[in-house]
Amino acid sequence: MSISRKNPVQQILESADIKIDNGRAGDIVVNDPVFFQRVLTGGSLALGESYMDGDWDCNNLDEFFYKVTRAGLQKRKVTGKLFWEIAKTALVNPQSVARSRKVAELHYNLGNDLYSSMLGRTMQYTCAYWTLGNTLDDAQTAKMDLVARKLHLSPGMKVLELGSGFGTLAKHLAEKYNVEVNAFNISHEQVKFARENTNGLPVHFHEEDYRNASGKFDRVISVGLMEHIGPKNYRDFMKVIDRNLIDGGLALVHTIGRSTSSTIPVDPWIRKYIFPGGHLPSLTRIAESTEGLFDVEDVHNLGINYDRTLMAWHNNFNNHWSKLKPKYGKMQDEKFKRMQDYYLLSCAGAFRSRSIQLWQTVLSKGREEVYQSQR
C-alpha cells in the first residue's frame, strides 16, 4: 500500500484526535494495509466491514466512535452508494408491510438465548433510565415505571402497545398497574418468548404489523418502534395511534432520533447488518406527524442514558460469550462477535457525543385537564 493511500486516512482520523498504532483510548491498530483503501473507497460501510474482517482493531471502540461522531466525520458528501440509498428512500417505501419484516428476520429473530444473555433479567431492548437505577435491571425497571407514570395509568385501563419487544413492558404494566395490554409485534421469536412469559396475565400478543391494530384503548405505547417505520410512514403511524385512542386518552412514543431532519438513512453499516430500513426521526418530523391529531404534552430527552445502557449490554455479551460461542461463533468464526462489538460500542460512542438522541414524547387526544409531567 503506497503512502499516498495511507496519508488521507491518517489526516481524517487525526482531525478527530485519533492516531494509528499510538495506544491511547480510541486509537486504532491496523492489521492489514488494505484497510486504508477500503475506507477511502467504501466509507462508513467499509469501515465496519473491515473491522469485522479483522483489518483493524481498537482497544476502546466506544471512545473511537465518540471522537468520530463528536468531530462530525460521519457527515459525508452525497455521492455514489449514499446517493442511491437516499434515492431509494425517496422513491420507494422501505418500511412497507412486506419489507418491514426484514429487520425481524435479520436481527430480532437471531435467538432469545443471545438476548437473554445480553439484556439481563428484564429483557428490555431499549434505553434504561439510570437516573433512578444503579444496575441494568433496576434502571430498566425504572424506565418501565417512568412510562407508567407518564401515562397516568390506573387499574382497569386498556392499553395498546405497538412493537412489544420481548413483552416485559406489557407484563410489568399488567402485574404492577393492573391494566390489560394488547401488543403487536412482527418478530416471531419475541412474540413466542412474550407469550410464554405472560401466561395467565391479561396480556395479548398479536404477531402482526402495527398497522393492523384495531380497537379503542385508554392508552397507547410505542417504545422503540418509530426508528423502524420510516419517514413515509410517520403520519400513518400517528393515525394508527389516533384511531385506536379514546377521546381524552394519552399516548407515549419512545424513539431514538437525530437533531436535524434528514433524508439520509441510518449509518450504512448499521442499515446493512443490524437494522434494515432504519431511519431516525427529528423532533420536527415527530411534531409534523402529530399535527391536527394530538397535543404534545411532554418531551423528555433520555439520550445520555443510552450510552450507559449499551455499555452494560456489551459487558453482558462479553461475559456470556464463552457460553454463546458454540452457536454464534460458527457464524463465520469470530465475525459475529466482532459485529456485535462494533454495533454496541459504535452506538454507545454516538450517544456519548450527543450526535443521536432518545426522546419520550407524551401525546394527548382531546384532553381537557392539565397534564402533569413526570421524571
CB 144 within 8 A of CB 170: no
Buried b (16+ CB within 10 A) or exposed e, 156-178: ebbbbbbbbbbbbbbbbbbeebe
Whether the CB-CB separation of 230 and 285 falls below 8 Å is answered with no
Range with the lowest mean pLDDT among 2-11, 51-60, 248-257? 2-11
Predicted confidence band of residue 7 (pLDDT cuts 50, 70, 90): low
Model confidence pLDDT, tens digit, residues 213-268? 999 999 999 999 999 999 999 999 999 999 999 999 999 999 999 988 877 778 89
Strands of 185-285, DSSP E: 203-206, 217-223, 245-257
- Residue 150 has a pLDDT of 98
pLDDT at position 330 is 63
Please report, for residues 94, 169, 235, 287, the alpha-carbon distance to residue 232 in angstroms, rounded to integers and kept in the order given. Answer: 9, 28, 8, 15
Pick the CATH number of 101-307+352-364 from 3.40.1360.10, 3.40.50.150, 2.30.40.10, 2.60.40.420: 3.40.50.150
**Arithmetic mean of pLDDT, 93-107:** 51
pLDDT at 97: 55
* pLDDT beyond 50 at 81: no
CA distance 32 to 325: 25
Confidence of residue 333 (pLDDT cuts 50, 70, 90): low
Q: What is the pLDDT of residue 92?
A: 45
Long-range contacts of 14-22, Cβ-Cβ distance < 8 Å, separation of 24 or more: 15/71, 15/73, 16/67, 16/68, 16/70, 16/71, 16/73, 17/67, 17/71, 18/64, 18/67, 18/68
Q: Which of 211-215, 269-273, 325-329 has the highest mean pLDDT?
A: 211-215
Domain residue spans of the chain: 1-92, 101-307+352-364
- Cα(239)–Cα(211) distance, integer angstroms: 9
pLDDT digit string (tens) for 124-171?
999 999 999 999 999 999 999 999 999 999 999 999 999 999 999 999
Q: What is the mean pLDDT of residues 184-193?
A: 94
Look up 127 and say whether it is catalytic.
no
Mean pLDDT of the chain: 89
- Looking at residue 136, its pLDDT comes to 98
C-alpha cell at 346: 459504535
The most confident of the ranges 32-41, 103-112, 175-184 is 175-184
What per-residue confidence (pLDDT) applies to 98? 54
Task: Select which of 347, 348, 350, 363 is catalytic.
Answer: 347
**Portion of the chain with pLDDT greater than 90, in percent:** 76
Query: How confident is residue 77, by pLDDT bands cut at 50, 70 and 90?
Result: very low
Do residues 355 and 348 touch, judged by C-beta distance below 8 A? no
